[in-house]
Amino acid sequence: MDLKTGLNSPVIADHLPTLASPAAVMTFTSPTSFPSPGLCLNTTKKIPLPGKIDEVRAAGWLDLMMAASPTRRRQIKDVVNDTQADDLDLQYHNWMVDYPSALTSFEAIIDLAGSKRLALFLDYDGTLSPIVDNPENALMSDEMRAAVRHVASLFPTAIISGRSRDKVFDFVKLNELHYAGSHGMDIMGPIRKTADSNGVECIHSTDSKGKEVNLFQPASEFLPMISEVYKKLGESVKDINGAKMEDNKFCVSVHYRNVAEDDYKKVFQRVTAVLEDYPCLRLTHGRKVFEVRPVIDWNKGKAVEFLLESLGLNESEDVLPIYVGDDRTDEDAFRVLKASNRGFGILVSSIPKESDAFYSLRDPAEVMEFLRKLAAWKEQST
């Protein structure tokens, strides 16, 4: 069933997802099928050289760079007049017909949940913390931490971030959750026999509390290459004012949020020039950030499937997974839930965006309200 078919009102319960059997959900790829870095180095696939860059393709990237992560609604209002602001409001409200607010649709969501067990998957930046200029300052508020702790005490909850797992844990500081860093390429989850017997290689380890856990790192072979490319990229953009590197362990971020627009093209050219020598790595684009990562068949969607399996929630039709995220990489997770017709995504956005999510929330403040409502509903219904 197309979840959007016929949807014309933010609050009509008839248009909620119909959930199918979860049997087909668990299809994550074993790491044994991933290309090894050595194999990739022998391929002939090349990213165009700077100077020889296909102008159309470069222009496409530049458009993306300009459009990425428009500033928050309040800031938009600072630079447009009242009529334009009204137009933006109208566009947003029209868009919400297709992506109803998870707050105004809350009753419909809990009707759908019924007696099912909820499983929550949360992105970090732009979802649990507001987007800020300096990535080091993307702190989570104490109120948000309390809301996340509360839901995590009631539902299995995981954070799936593009950041390194350690860094996202440093921000969140909650032991009650499961963490997947580097866009799902670094997962710390509970020990599950089935995960091992499915041929997925996990390392047994202990968490900061000494509890036994499984570490799943499908891109571990790429670590030397990632650290090499991190240094090269750092060298290549060091003279560009405002460009900032971030080491996310199995991926690298090149931030351009604080770069002058006139220099965007330079950032793009420098990054693609370095990547020309690394056909095993691919470039994706987030909110004013380039993300460089291994070409392996793994993403946040696969991480959701993996965690559902690890948490023992995959075999049950009685589970409703909800994924909340704001960025392009979260779309992989939205798509997995949509395709399995099992749960749904909630897109966090204050501007209209095409998405595979089913619902929307405007910003992290609304995410917090949603989490609080979920916790209150669960407590009062048990």
Ligand X SMILES: O=P(O)(O)OC[C@H]1O[C@H](O[C@H]2O[C@H](CO)[C@@H](O)[C@H](O)[C@H]2O)[C@H](O)[C@@H](O)[C@@H]1O
Q: Can you give the binding site for ligand X, defined by CB under 6 A?
A: 123-126, 131-133, 135, 138, 161-163, 246, 248, 253, 255, 257, 286-289, 291, 327, 329
User: Which residues, at least 6 apart from 87, have a Cβ–Cβ distance to it below 8 Å?
Assistant: none
Q: Which is nearer to ligand X, 112 or 245 (CB)?
A: 245
> In the structure encoding, which two tokens stand for residue 284, read together?
């994706």
Report, in Å, the least distance between residue 325 CB and ligand X.
7
- Write down the residue that tokens 């759908």 correspond to: 112
Q: Which is nearer to ligand X, 113 or 252 (CB)?
A: 252
Q: Which is nearer to ligand X, 22 or 286 (CB)?
A: 286
What's the CA gap between 56 and 46, in Å, rounded? 17
What's the CA gap between 142 and 187, in Å, rounded? 25
DSSP state of 32: G
What's the CA gap between 358 and 19, in Å, rounded? 13
Report, in Å, the least distance between residue 96 CB and ligand X.
22
Q: Which is nearer to ligand X, 273 or 289 (CB)?
A: 289
Distances (CA, A) of 245 to 71, 236, 359: 21, 11, 33
Query: What does the CA dihedral 14, 16, 18, 24 come to, rounded to 10 degrees?
Result: 170
Report, in Å, the least distance between residue 188 CB and ligand X.
16
Q: Which is nearer to ligand X, 133 or 143 (CB)?
A: 133
Report, in Å, the least distance between residue 39 CB and ligand X.
26
What's the CA gap between 184 and 88, in Å, rounded? 34
What DSSP element (H or E) covers 38?
A: helix 37-41
User: Which residues, at least 6 apart from 202, have a Cβ–Cβ distance to it below 8 Å?
Assistant: 195, 196, 214, 215, 216
CB 229 within 8 A of CB 271: no
Q: Which is nearer to ligand X, 16 or 185 (CB)?
A: 185
Asked whether the CA dihedral 333, 218, 162, 266 is positive or negative, the reply is negative
Report, in Å, the least distance between residue 256 CB and ligand X.
8
> In the structure encoding, which two tokens stand for residue 355, read together?
């998405």
What's the CA gap between 213 and 307, in Å, rounded? 12
The amino acid at residue 359 is: Y
What DSSP element (H or E) covers 93?
A: helix 82-98
Report, in Å, the least distance between residue 245 CB and ligand X.
10
Report, in Å, the least distance between residue 53 CB and ligand X.
23
What's the CA gap between 47 and 366, in Å, rounded? 40
Q: Which is nearer to ligand X, 133 or 196 (CB)?
A: 133
Q: Which is nearer to ligand X, 257 or 266 (CB)?
A: 257
The closest residue (CB) to ligand X is 162
Closest CA to 124 of 373, 355, 358, 348: 348
How many alpha carbons fall within 13 Å on the CB side of residue 232?
A: 16
Report, in Å, the least distance between residue 366 CB and ligand X.
16
Report, in Å, the least distance between residue 208 CB and ligand X.
20
Report, in Å, the least distance between residue 160 CB and ligand X.
7
